[in-house]
Structures are given as C-alpha cells and as structure tokens.
A and B are shown apart, each in its own frame.
Chain A
Amino acid sequence: MNKGTVFALVIALAAFAGGMFVGKGGGDQAPVITDSGAGASYVAPAEDMSGELVLSGSNTNVAGSSAGFTEVVVEEGQSIQAAVTAASPRTIIRVMPGTYNETIYIDKDDIRLMGVIKESRRAILDGQGTMNDAILYSGNNIVIEGFVITKYKGNGIMGQAGNNFEIRNNIIVDTGVYGIFPQLGQNGIVELNVVSGIEDAAIYIGMSDNIHVAYNEVFDSVAGIEIENSRHSIVEGNYVYNNTGGILAFITPGLPIKTTYDVLIRNNWISGNNTKNFGAPGSTVGGIPAGTGIMVMAADDVVIENNIITNNKTVGILAVDHNTASQLTNITIDPESDPNSDGLKVLNNLMSNNGYDTVDELKAIMLTELKTGNPDIFAVGPSKDSCIINRHRYVTFGVDDFAECDFANTDTIGNYLLPQVAPRDRSTPEQRAKTTYMAICAGCHTYTGRMIGPPVKIIQALYMDNPQGIVDYITNPVKKREDYPEMPPQDYLDEETRMAVAKYMLGRTR
C-alpha cells in the first residue's frame, strides 16, 4: 500500500466517522438560478472587526506622490546599492538597462527603484545562482518597478514590514523560493508583474493587510499566488497557469499572526495548473496536489467570483480545514488558529474540465457519498456560514449544505487599499525627547545621584540656557572627569532628537 492510499483510507474512515463532512446529495429540486448582474453586491464583513480600516476605493498609488523627490541615475557597471546607501529618503533611483550582480537592501523610507526600459532592454538583476535575494526592503513607501530578476537563491523581491509599497512591471524568472514576497506590511500593490519558475509561491503575500494583487502573469511555479495569514486583500485579473496550484488563501499554522479573512479572488484566469509539485520537502505548498485551481485552507470569508477556472486536473476549487490537511500534508496544528474555512462565498465562475484526473484522497471522500465524477468544487471539513450561487452548474462535493448567497457580485468594492498609511513614526519631538531620555540617557544619569555619568543637576548647572552645548558634547564627547568613564557618542540620534533631548534634560526637575 503506498502512502497515498493509506492517507485516502484514513480520510475516508474519518469522513465516515464524522458523517458531516460531505453534505447530503442535492437531489432533483429545481436549481436556484441567480443572475450576477441583477443581484445585490457583497458587503465586506470586516468593517466591524477590531477597528481595521477597510475602504472600497480605486486608489493604486499607495506610496504617495513623488513630487519634489531627488533623482539619481545608475549606469551599467555602477552599483545600485551604492546609490541606495547614498540616497536620502525621497529619492528616485533610475537604473539604466544592463546587468547588475548584487543584493539590494533598502532600510529607509521613500525610495523608488525604477528600472529604465529602453526599446525593451531592461535593468537585469542576475544573482548568478549564488546570491541570496535580489531586493530586500524594510522601509515604507517603497516602489520597485521595471526590473528583470533572475537566478537568485532566495527571493526576487522581499519586504519585511514596509508599508505602502508598489511592486510593478517586473519580470521575475527562475529565482528561488518566492518571486515577490511582501511580509508583515500594510497597504501594498503587486501588479503587472510576470513571474515564473519559482519553487514555492510566485507571488506570496505573507502576514499582511490591505494588499492588491492584480494583472500579474504567474506560471511554471509550485503556487501561483498565495495569500497567507493576511486580511482585506484582493486577487484580481491575474493570469495563472501551469503551476501546481493556482491561487491559494491559507492560514499556515505556527506563524505569529493567526488569521486570514476577507479575501476576494475575482476575474482571474486560472487554467491548467497541473505541474508536478516540485516544492521543497516540508514546505507548506509541498503538499498541494498538482491540478488544483483555487485552494482555501482555514481562511475565512473568501469570495470567489468571475474567474475562468479550467483544465485543473484535480479540482477547480478546494476548501479544506487544518485537521484534514494535517493528515494529508506537512501542515501542523496550531491551537491558536481557527482550523476551518468558514464563510466561503462562491459566486459565478466559468468552470470547465476540472477534476478529470483527481487524487485518491478526494476520490475516497467522494466514495463515502457514493459519488463519482470530476469535481469542480470540493469542500472538506466544517465550513459554517458558507454560501454559493448557481451550484447546479458544477460538479460539487461538500457544498450541499452551503446557503444561497444573498448577494451576487462584489461590484461595489474597488479595492481594499488605504489612502497612504500615516508615517510610521507618529511621535512629536516632545515625545521623542522624553522617550529617548528615559530609554537611553537615564541608563547612566539620575537627577541627583551618582551613577555611571554625573547627575543631571550638575549638567543643568553647566549648560543652563545652552542646549546646543549638550548637543555638541553628546555628538562628540571627550573625557572630562577623572572619576567618571568617558561617555559614548550619541551621534546615532538625529540632530532634531539630540536637540530635543538636550532641552528635555535641562527642563527636568527630578
């Protein structure tokens, strides 16, 4: 007995024992026919959730205006990183066509990395199979456009907590684990990129909020587009083909942010995602059966609308819970995550020729209902508050208990992007001064007592009405007192903070 058969048996038995996984057969009632144009529109459920801002806007310029930015040009043979390092925030770096072999990291805000495209020649970032990632950023308001990225071992473009990003018009070929991977950020757009040959997700939105993934072409990868542990995101108008799985909305257990909800998957072309799984052993996507169009795992309030879903050999749409998935794949268990895919909403989609060569596991579950056929839509595990329209059009399993949706389209929702998120540092100079004093100065100075440095009272007497004197001293301290150690320079604090903290120190009374 091979492994697959064992799993199939386990699942079949579990399903029998559970009895509730697969809904009862639909029978011969007349189908409810819903015209998607005539019905009501979807209202996102998230507006009352923890005060998160959800908009239905049409803004896609989330990084803000570039008016007044400095511009610099990088020519072939020069270093892009050198330009980034030299740049102040609010700089556009234009990279001329040519080949560049480097890793670029951006740890400052408002940098725009713009590949110049000349007669279809682009700036090519080539990792030569030895470099780790092409572009890493942690700054806010980052724009990355117009590059070719190839042959890196890690990711093409990786964001760590940068908000308000725009990743657009890049061609990412044969480059490691993820093509585009913004993580832990809010308010970003990934559009008009071509990504292929990626051994995990071509476009991977990880632990992020308010993300728009639109008009990308993703193919020849294990996963096309993955929305993982993220909220308020839209995946629309993408061309997703020849991957192992097309579009995924997952909660991956074991991550610090534990939810995925309010994901709209609409107007995509999801076709022929039948590529043999070449994911790394142990990876989350390594367990996805080849031939999966859309897969929802434990995510809530996923809306699937107006997609063309064709020729995916295992299943068109698969919804699964953690408990089932953990028996089939590498998925672990996380007591802090809700394991079920609740609130799934399947609106009209064009589905054809899916499930024609499905996997044993799904066949076994179908057998528990004495069903056969090629599944378009397959739901396994509990899924409360889910709905579907025009279910009679598809070969379905496990959705018979779904309600009729009381809406038929998402037309009123443009996107979930925010007007630019407020600057990350929202403190006033006074707050900065106080916090800096408490967090740094007070480590060595108390008001009256002797500590590592002299008492604040003595400093006040020396520098009365002279905060600049303190600024000058702390920027470049010299040893002044025999009985105290020399002070380390505080030049890592910016000028404004140094002045503010100097004034704060002079104003202390205890």
Chain B
Amino acid sequence: MRSLLRPLLTCVLALVLMPLAQAATQFLLNENCPPSFELMDDGSCELRNLYQFYDSLQDMGVGGTQTSLPAHRDGFTPKQIDLGRFLFFDPALSGDGSTSCASCHHPDKGFSDGRARSIGINGHEAERSAPTLWNVAFLKRLFWDARSGSLEEQAQGPLFHPHEMGNSEAQLRQTLNDNSTYRALFKQAFPDSNSSDVELPQLYSALTAFQTSLISLNSRYDRYAHGYHAALNQQEIEGMNVFRSFVARCAECHTPPLFTNQQIAVIGTPEPEGRALDIGAEVTFDVAKLKGGFKVPSLRNIAKTAPYMHSGRFETLRETVEFYTKGRGHAVPEGVDMHLHWHIWEPNLTDYELDRLVDFLGTLTDETFKPQIPQRVPSGLTPIDHLPQQGESS
C-alpha cells in the first residue's frame, strides 16, 4: 500500500507543481526600483543617496568630504531597468551570439573584465581597457577618449564594433523582433511606443536604464565622509591625507565625491610593451595639446578593476600610484611632444606613502548593490557567455 502510494503522490505533486515551475521560468520584469532608488508616483525610479544632503560650488559636484555629487541620469521605470538587465547579460546582442555586455563588464570583476584590453568576438582584442560601469550615471562623457556624450550613444560603440560585439543594426533589430519574449518584454517596458516592433533606441534606452542603476556610494570612505571617522583606520586616514595633499595631488583630478573631475588629462602613462602610443583625446577634440589625453576615471571600486590605465599597463594599484612619482614625462616616448598636465610633477612620495595611498584606495570599495545575474535570458543562450578566465588577464 505504502509503496504504491508514494509514486502516486510524487506524480500528483509533480502535476501540481508543473504550472508553478513554468510560471517561474517566464520572464517577469521587476516592478520595484533597484536599491538606492525611490519609486515615484509617476512610476519612475529616482536616485537617493546621502550626498543629496549637501550642495556643491556652482552645482558641479566636485569638492571635499560633504559635497553633493555631479548631475546624474535617472527617471527610468523598474521595468526598463530590469529589461536592461536581461539585455545586458544576453549574448544574443552580439553578432555571433558569443558575447554580452557583461562579458567585458562583469559584475564580479568590478563591471570590468580583469583584462588589460578586452577580448571581443572571434578572439579579437580591443584597443583599450574596459572601464567600470559603477556610478556611470554620473558621467558626462563616455569612453576613455570622451568621444560620446550619452550612454545611449555609447552603447552603439561596442555593439557594432567588429572587434567587440560585432553586430549590425539590421541583424540586432531582427534578433530582438524574432524573439517573442523580447517583443513582450519591450512592450511592457515601453508601453507608449507607437511601433509594434522593437526599435533599437528602446534597446539603448533599456541598457542605459540598467547601467544607471549601478550605484556604489556606501563604501567605508563614504561613512567617514558623512562624519563617522572610525570608519577608516589610521593608515587609511594617512593615505587619504596623502591623496588630497598638494604633494601627491590625486584629489585635484580624482576629486570627491565621485573621485573624478570628469576632465581630460594628459599624464603620459606608458603603453604595454610593444604597443604603439595611443593618442586618445587628441582625436576626439582635434587638439594637438590633448595628445595622449584621457578622461579622468572615477576611483570608486578601483581595487576591483585591475589592471589599470587605458590599456592596462599596470597590474596593481601599487604600480599605478608609483607611476606618479617616477618623474614628469618619464614614460613619454622619445620624440613625442606631449603637453603634460600641470599636476604631473615630481612629488617624491616615499614607499610608505605609496602603500598608504593603496590602503586608502581600498576604502572606496562598495558592491552592496551588485545586481543579480539572471539565471536565464530571453534568447535561451547562456547568460554572459565568453567569461574571462581566471589568470587570463594579460
């Protein structure tokens, strides 16, 4: 009796559970805003952070400990943000289905990829290092050479670059429209759209929505800044004081609270062995004095995004900070006329000070709002795919 009943029960249970299991595998877009966002009456998500208690000179978002942040992007709906998350992790966005945004901007690698230069489809190596996406909502310009003014525009760079995601507008549009799940999800996220098809601007918008939700503002440094001075230990405070001193001058360009002033700086870092000089922002602005200039990156979560600089020349933060004390222009190739930034000088930092700088940079880490990697994506492909391998970084 018993032995008969058991398989029967199991069978009944399975029948009862099946619809549930099926429901769970459908793609539901989140109706709540991500952490650090408030759901407004109009259905959009607005950023909330403790720096909103402060102001800043000329509202530029640069200053000291208690200064407001620069202007930011927000106002997307929870569904747009969540759709962006599925898209971000879906390799279907690449030309051959091998590579997703997350392949080079992986949440477990500081939204970078641990490589000196990223690897795109077919093993192609990109020209530069993948920048982190943490706090990208605050950036006025995108790409190392500042050539893009919005995340929507920026997204089209890697999507259609033959060495990165290698897709074409036509193919991408077709991939999304051929997928009934995506059609439904885009409809949910963009209910006011006039088109019955998925349009590429909606894709760019959803990707922007997701990326602007990546907020990292609750590091130990932030606790110090808001007034809890026990958040940093003595060595870290020493490092902070070196960082903002006018000897090291780090804070002059990596200005709090975002730890970048969002300007172009020509600092003359070396390229990896055997690579030609990258002239950077000279091309963007067509100004010779900007030869070798790059956007000053934010240092938030910097400990998570080795290797460093635009082409990943430095493996460690210690090597990176040491660059600044090895002499103005020491790595500029012979015969190149480079107009180095005035803050690049010879600060003669001691080994002790360099170590403390690294200690301090470690206090800028905060990944508490790391988003979940979806277990499945609408294309049915393996989320992310093309994972960078451990120890494959150079």
A→B interface (CB under 8 Å): 85, 103, 105, 107-108, 132-133, 136, 138, 153-155, 158-162, 176-178, 181, 184-186, 207-209, 254-257, 280-284, 286, 326, 330, 332-333, 335, 424-427, 431-432, 434-436, 438-440, 442-444, 446, 491-494
Contact = CB atoms under 8 A, between A and B. Distances in A.
Chain B, interface residues (CB within 8 Å), range: 35 or more
Top 8 nearest A-B pairs (CB, nearest first) are A161-B63, A492-B228, A138-B64, A161-B64, A438-B48, A154-B246, A160-B64, A132-B245
Contacts of A138: 63-66
Nearest to A133: B245
B58 A257 contact: yes
A136 B245 contact: yes
Contacts of B344: 282
Interface in B11-61: 32, 35-38, 48-50, 52-58, 60
A132 B356 CA distance: 14
B36 A184 contact: no
Given A155-B246, A284-B342, A256 B60 contact: yes
B38 A438 contact: yes
26 contacts: A103-B241, A105-B241, A107-B225, A132-B242, A138-B64, A138-B65, A154-B245, A161-B67, A177-B247, A184-B57, A184-B64, A254-B264, A256-B60, A282-B342, A282-B344, A283-B342, A335-B285, A335-B287, A426-B53, A434-B48, A435-B52, A442-B35, A443-B368, A492-B223, A492-B226, A492-B230
B12 to A, nearest CB: 28
A209 B218 contact: no
A438 B263 contact: no
A494 B52 CA distance: 17
Nearest to B226: A492
B85 to A, nearest CB: 16
B62 interface: yes
Nearest to A279: B342
Contacts of B341: 254, 282
B354 interface: no
A332 B289 contact: yes
Interface string B365-377: 0001100000000
Nearest to B287: A333
Nearest to A108: B227
Given A138-B65, A160-B63, A424-B54, A154 B247 contact: yes
Contact of A184 (B38, B52, B63, B242): B63
Nearest to A431: B53
Contact of B65 (A103, A107, A181, A440): A107
B53 A494 contact: no
Contacts of A442: 35-36
A432 B57 contact: no
A136 B60 CA distance: 21
B229 A107 contact: yes
B311 interface: no
Interface string B257-289: 000011111000000000000000000010101
Kindly name the residue among A85, A103, A105, A332 whose own CB sees the greatest number of chain B CB atoms within 10 A: A332
A154 B348 CA distance: 11
Contacts of B226: 492-493
B33 to A, nearest CB: 8
B183 to A, nearest CB: 27
Contact of A254 (B38, B228, B246, B265): B265
Interface of B: 32, 35-38, 48-50, 52-58, 60, 62-67, 217-218, 223-231, 237, 241-242, 244-248, 251, 255-256, 261-265, 285, 287, 289-290, 328, 339-342, 344-345, 347-348, 368-369
Nearest to A438: B48
A330 B348 CA distance: 22
Contacts of A333: 287, 289-290
A160 B66 contact: no
Contacts of A426: 53, 55
A345 to B, nearest CB: 23
Max chain A Cβ within 10 angstroms of own Cβ: one of B37, B48, B64: B64
A492 B218 CA distance: 11
Contacts of A440: 50, 218
Contacts of B345: 280-283
A153 B350 CA distance: 13
A438 B285 contact: no
Contact of A425 (B66, B223, B231): B66
B50 A133 contact: no
B56 A256 contact: no
Contact of B248 (A85, A108, A132): A132
Nearest to A330: B342
A326 B288 CA distance: 12
A85 B289 contact: no
A425 B54 contact: yes
A18 to B, nearest CB: 20
B266 to A, nearest CB: 8
Contact of A439 (B49, B229, B251, B255): B49
B263 A209 contact: no
B66 A435 contact: no
A400 to B, nearest CB: 32
A443 B261 contact: no
Given A438-B36, A443-B369, A177 B60 contact: no
Nearest to A336: B263
**Which of B49, B65, B342: most chain A CB closer than 10 A?**
B342
Contact of B50 (A105, A424, A436): A436
A107 B248 contact: no
A432 B48 CA distance: 10
Contacts of B244: 136, 160
Contacts of B57: 161, 184-186, 207-209, 257
A504 B37 CA distance: 16
Contact of A255 (B48, B55, B66, B261): B261
B246 A427 contact: no
Contacts of A257: 57-58, 60, 62
Contacts of A280: 342, 345
Nearest to A283: B342
Nearest to A432: B53
B66 A158 contact: no
A435 B246 contact: no
